[in-house]
Amino acid sequence: MDKGLRTIKPFSRYFREAIRFYDLDKPFVAQIIFILSLAVQFGGYMMAKPYVIDLYTHYEKLYVRLEGELSLDKINSIMFASGDYEVMIQSFIHVVLLVAAIRFATFLISLFFGSWYFFGLTNPGMSGAQRTLVFFSRLPKLIIFNVLFNVAFYSGVLVLIMVLGIVSLIIPLLTIFTALIPLFVMALSTLFVFKDLLIIEFDVGIFRNFKKSIDLTRGNKKQIIMNMMSLYILGWLLNMFSIDVNNALLALFISVFMESIIMIVTQRLSVLMFLDAASLERKDKTKEKSVEAV
């Protein structure tokens, strides 16, 4: 059970402000960030498209050839002599690297939005140059921490899958829980939602940030998980708009458009919850208006 002061509000209390993905104290910055995110994702996936087609084509060829009775010599001949296997692996590597580059670039873009939004709420008098300088001065630490975090986190997930797989051999009924692993991983990752903001605001050390990220969720873990999972569900529902679109390019554009919105909304929600969790005072005009209304 969570122990500590409950400071995080329900998702519905943040939704109205978080959903305003187009809103920053400098509107043109929000527009540039959104367009940049859209361009990086759409352009990146278009670059990956030829390799995806090659991957699928050569996989299909190998699948057809491997049908029927097989011997070791025949498998070696099909897999290596034809050259399809080598081309398929090369295409796969290209796709993985391009997708990783897209994710990394959009991650940095979203972080920049989050830091700008954060300073807009806590220190609205801070100039754009100062905000940019702070962000880029923290960027090396942010990158190193996130690399270490993802290696540690997904190594733990891999161990969990292996353990569950071994236990499932003994107790087959437990295989039911393997379907819940993605949901569990998503929920667990939300508990580190403040990891980047801690570095941006307090310049927390890389290894100390692991502990501080969890400490800041004390008393609010359930609410944080519910809030972030609600946002993920919203993102999934928005992406449904691209399913029935017959034009592949249009479907990709709609999907990327919705993903860019959710990426920014996620940053806004994280900042709003961080302010409550860290008991930081808002000094923007929105806060002043709400105080006057009271």
Q: How many CA atoms lie within 13 A of 270 on its CB side?
A: 27
For the entire predicted model, the pTM comes to: 0.87
Compute φ and ψ for 96, nearest 5 degrees: -60, -45
CA distance 89 to 85: 6
Question: Could you say which DSSP state residue 193 is in?
Answer: T
292 falls in which pLDDT band (50, 70, 90)?
very low
CA distance 229 to 213: 18
Map out the domains of the chain as residue ranges: 22-293
Reply yes or no on whether the pLDDT at 81 is more than 70.
no
Q: Give the mean model confidence (pLDDT) for residues 145-158.
A: 95
- pLDDT reported for residue 149: 96
- pLDDT reported for residue 261: 95
CB within 8 A of 137, min separation 6: which ones?
A: none
- pLDDT reported for residue 85: 78
* 209-232 pLDDT tens trace: 999 999 999 989 999 999 999 999
Q: Give the mean model confidence (pLDDT) for residues 258-272.
A: 96
The vertex-231 CA angle with 31 and 8, nearest 5°, equals 100
Average pLDDT score over the chain: 88
